[in-house]
Amino acid sequence: MEYRELGRSGLRVSVLTMGTMTFGGGGKFAYVGDTGVEEARKQIDMCLDAGVNLIDTADVYSTGLSEEIVGKAIQGRRDDLLLATKVRMPMGDGPNDAGLSRHHVITGAEASLRRLGTDHIDLYQVHEWDGRTPVEETLAALDHLVSAGKVRYVGVSNYTGWQLMKALGTADRLGLPRFVSQQIYYSLQARDSEYELIPAAIDQGLGVLVWSPLAGGLLSGRYRRDAQPSEGRQLTEWNEPPVRDQEQLYDTVEVLVDIAGEHGVSAAQVALAWLLGRPAITSLVVGARTSEQLADNLAAAELKLTAEQRARLDEVSRQPLLYPYWHQAATASDRLSPADLSLLGPHL
């Protein structure tokens, strides 16, 4: 297992992170999975044996049940791993049961600590943007948790480029905790994050954790033009991630399957290996309904793709340059930074 620094921090995390959205099966999360304590313990054993050192969860996953299961499954080995969780989403019907106010952030952290059965969270992530709460208030609440020793590092998830830069600029201006990482959706199925979020990570020294790197199973090789699986998340009411271009998705899966055949591995492993070679990527959050799926995903850490195979995947999944990127590619190519080139380089 390879380990990479998480942004500009000194924390080293495995290139694969164990995702736990499948734990619990409460409410809408039943569409994703319903893993109980015993199976969770087995899967965590598999991850630790493979060298995974980070487990990612969130308070909203099955309304806290995922955190509870994680807490029970790691009893006696808390010091062997890092824990990441999140705050922002609704955890009740009250007017202050959601968002990134000082009240909800601190209340959420205390509740997560109880459910996880630990005295600290290694990476505490704001799960989504809150346009009604001043960024200063959210960062001050995170500063309180860090100063109290309840949180070691802070991260962000699902922000736009301008929202991310506003938060980082505010933290720098006021001397408040700076996000060390962002957790984003990024896959061969949708490379939208390459427009702003990946360049921002390169420029600002952020680690990048990727959620749903297999696009909710769409890149597993089971969804093809001439074949559809009989079960899976995409056949339920779960609608993440959306599919904008079905034909491009099918084209991408065909190339994945071809390259997988060249290596004698699964299409899923190829999709994960492609991501691990992209700029700024620190770790991929992989979850699975079954131990068999998890074992297959873990094997991706050892897969190396050739430059030619990467080029084929890049070409079939590439998205068009939006404005002002196409204009910059045409007129600013003489003065582009490494962050700029992460998007524009292949178009020059």
Check: CB of residue 207 under 8 Å from CB of residue 201: yes
The active-site residue out of 31, 61, 124, 186 is 61
For residue 66, count CB atoms less than 10 angstroms from its CB and return exposed for 0-12, middle for 13-18, buried for 19 or more.
Answer: buried
Check: CB of residue 300 under 8 Å from CB of residue 268: yes
How many residues are recorded in the chain? 348
Check: CB of residue 69 under 8 Å from CB of residue 29: no
Number of Cβ atoms within 10 Å of the Cβ of 317: 22
For residue 278, count CB atoms less than 10 angstroms from its CB and return exposed for 0-12, middle for 13-18, buried for 19 or more.
Answer: middle
- Which secondary-structure segment (H or E) carries 284? strand 281-286
State both tokens at 336. 């582009």
State both tokens at 148. 């109290």
Find how far residue 16's CA is from the centre of its chain.
10
Alpha-carbon dihedral of residues 97, 99, 104, 110, nearest 10 degrees? Answer: 100
338 phi, psi to nearest 5 deg: -55, -35
Check: CB of residue 164 under 8 Å from CB of residue 198: no
**∠ CA 56-57-60, rounded to 5°:** 155
83 phi, psi to nearest 5 deg: -115, 130
* Euclidean distance between CA atoms 141 and 163, whole angstroms: 18
Check: CB of residue 159 under 8 Å from CB of residue 153: no
Verify whether residue 61 is a known catalytic residue.
Answer: yes
Q: Which residues are catalytic?
A: 61
